[in-house]
Amino acid sequence: MELENRFAVLIDADNVSGKYIKYILDEISTDGVATYKRIYGDWTSPSLGNWKTVLLDNSIVPIQQYSYTTGKNATDSAMIIDAMDILYSGNVDGFCIVSSDSDFTRLATRLRESGMMVVGMGEKKTPQPFISACNKFRYLEILAKSDAATDTVAAKTGGKTHAATVAKEMTKLTTIKKAIRLIIEEISDEDGWASAGDIGNLLSKRYPDFDVRNFGHKKLTPFLKSLNILELNPIRNSDGSSRVVYVRVK
C-alpha cells in the first residue's frame, strides 16, 4: 500500500474566513493527509467568532497569539516559528499555508528549499510573490464556487465568458494558451502529439495558480477541448483500463 504524503495545514485566521474550511481540507486531501491542523489568531477578538464554530468539528488546534501592537499581524511570527519546528521534526512531507498575506513568501521559499511540497491557499487578493513561492496555489473563492458550479454553466460559457469574469486577477487564459502551445512544441513526438497529463503537470509547475476550475471546468480534458486550438486523441490501454489523452495543435 502506497503511503500518503503527510501535510501540516497552517491557517492564518486573520486573513481567511471560516466559511472556507471545508474546501481547504477537501482540497489538501487530494494531495495527502493533514497530519497537523493548526490555526493562528487572537481568539479573544470578536472578529474571529466565525472560526470558533468550525474548529471542533474539523479537529483544528487553535493557537492563541495576542495582538500586542495595533495594526500588526502577530500571527505571522507564530506560524513561521511553528512551521520551522515542524520542518525540523521530520514528520511531514509538505505544508499547506492558508493565507492571503505576502509575509509568508519567504517561509514558502524556505520550506521548498528544504525539499517540502508547499501548497498555498488564499483569496484572489493574494499578492503574486506568495503565489509564485508555492509549488501550487489555490484560490479559495474558486474552490467554493466550483463546489456549487454545474457542467451546464461551463457548457453555456464555453469556458470563455466565465474565464473572463473569474480569471482577470489570475494568470490569464491567453497566457495559458500560449504556454500550452510552447509545451506541446517542447515535449511532443515527431507527429506533434503530447500527453495531456504531462501538459497539465508542466502548466502547474510554470504557473502555480493554474487550475482548470479557474476557467469553469472540473477536469483537464474538457478544459483543453474548450480552447478550440487542439486536436484530442483518447487512447485506452490494451486491457481497456485507464485512458491516456494525447493532444496536438490544430
Mean of pLDDT values over 147-171: 47
pTM beyond 0.85: the answer is: no
Residue 145: the pLDDT is: 82
Question: Could you give the residue range(s) of every CATH 3.30.420.610 domain in the chain?
Answer: 150-249
- 150-249 maps to which CATH number? 3.30.420.610
Cα dist from 62 to 3, 79, 164, 204, whole Å? 28, 11, 38, 32
Q: For residue 94, name the pLDDT band (cuts at 50, 70, 90).
A: very high
Residue 244: the pLDDT is: 85
Per DSSP (E only), the strands in 14-116 are 32-41, 61-64, 94-98
pLDDT of 228 strictly over 70: yes
Residue 169: the pLDDT is: 65
Rounded CA-CA distance 173/179 in Å is 10
Characterize the bridge pairing of strands 5-12 and 32-41. Answer: parallel
Question: Could you give the residue range(s) of every CATH 3.40.50.1010 domain in the chain?
Answer: 5-146
Rounded CA-CA distance 95/9 in Å is 6
Please name the residues in contact with 112: beta carbons below 8 A apart, sequence gap of 6 or more.
Answer: 118, 133, 134, 135
Q: For residue 162, name the pLDDT band (cuts at 50, 70, 90).
A: very low
Going by the DSSP 8-state scheme, the letter that residue 68 receives in this structure is: -
CATH architecture of 5-146: 3-Layer(aba) Sandwich (3.40)
Residue 243: the pLDDT is: 74
pLDDT of 147 strictly over 80: no
